[in-house]
Amino acid sequence: MPTWCDWVGIGIHLRYGNVTLTGNLLENGCNRSAWSAPRGPEIHQYPFVTASNHIKVCIGRIHYLSQRLTYFSRVITILSICVFTSRSTSAGIVNPGPIALRMEITPSILTADFARLGETLEEAVAAGINWIHMDVMDGNWVVNRTITFGPAIIRSVRDRLGPEVTIDCHLMITNAEATWKQYAEAGVDMVIAHIEAVEDFPTLITEMRQAGIGIGCVLNPDTPAEDVLPLLPELDLVLVMSVVPGKGGQSFMPEVEGKVRAFRAAIDEQKSNGGRAVKLMIDGGIKDHNAAMVAEWGIDIAVVGSGLINDRGSIAENLAAIHKALG
């Protein structure tokens, strides 16, 4: 009869010369063997994802991990330990099973009935959402000339929800440098401005930092990551658009994957060096059918509009469908 045993997984980050591998070490509780499945430098964010290359490691005990690993590389950095247990048989192949992807969901309120906006937001908070994303369009910068709302509505939302809920505003406007203070004074926790619309982003960062407001930078689907990467040490959030802002009838653009992964790798390297832990957000066409995919890319926060606020179900029901997709 096969015997049941526990497997313990430990997320590891190995640096050898100029090559960084991040992966997992699994220890078999029955025979004390272990193996590591490192991922390439560009893929790192979720533990226990199998990659094409494997390094087999034999250890006697988990607490000998760092000593034994020194045999494999000149420099070892253990970033985090993610422990789980999964049952397997001693006669079978180890499979730790599916791992839930972690990604926060924030609603875009543009699909809400504005006559019931307060009720809709309270419904979202009651469903477990604690981050609200507010899209500000001035009728000039976006291609469809849409005008949404301004600081007055944001102040009303803050007053309705109180200080516990995080509110950001995504400024799709031509004069973010001149007007961002109005949104800060209205009660947002973070202002997210477009790299394409701001002439001097470093100066904007300095001014917002001095005011104590969170700083986000957003880039359109066709804007390269290289335009924003130099700003990363001073940002709190990067928002990658997966649709063109203000253009109706669009579908999610999967071609932004490479850009998302580039930011994920840069952010994690920055964190490993003691730098700022920048949040990575995506906005545009996110629903339950593609939520797990963008979470695997390394997204921390997904903005969801019609996939969350619609007539097909309650916010709680739609949120549950997304969480189910995430595992």
Sign of torsion over alpha carbons 257, 260, 265, 268? negative
φ, ψ (nearest 5 deg) of residue 214: -65, 145
92 and 309 Cβ atoms separated by less than 8 Å: no
- C-alpha neighbours within 13 Å on the C-beta side of residue 43: 18
CA atoms of 272 and 206, how far apart (whole Å) = 24
Q: Which residues contact 141 (CB under 8 A, 6 or more apart)?
A: 172, 173, 174, 194, 197, 245, 246
CA atoms of 234 and 10, how far apart (whole Å) = 31
Q: Which residue among 138, 236, 268, 283 is the active-site one?
A: 283
Query: Known catalytic residue: 135?
Result: yes
CA atoms of 5 and 120, how far apart (whole Å) = 48
Helix (H, G, I), strand (E, B) or coil at 219: strand
DSSP secondary structure, 49-82, as one string: ---S--EEEE-S-GGGHHHHHTTT-SEEE-----
CA atoms of 113 and 109, how far apart (whole Å) = 9
Structure tokens at 206: 């300095």
CA atoms of 278 and 97, how far apart (whole Å) = 29
* Cα-based distances in Å from 67 to 10, 63, 165: 15, 9, 44
Q: Which residue among 135, 138, 268, 300 is the active-site one?
A: 135
DSSP 8-state secondary structure symbol assigned to residue 40: -
CA atoms of 129 and 107, how far apart (whole Å) = 8
Q: Give the residue numbers annotated as catalytic, written as ranges.
A: 135, 283
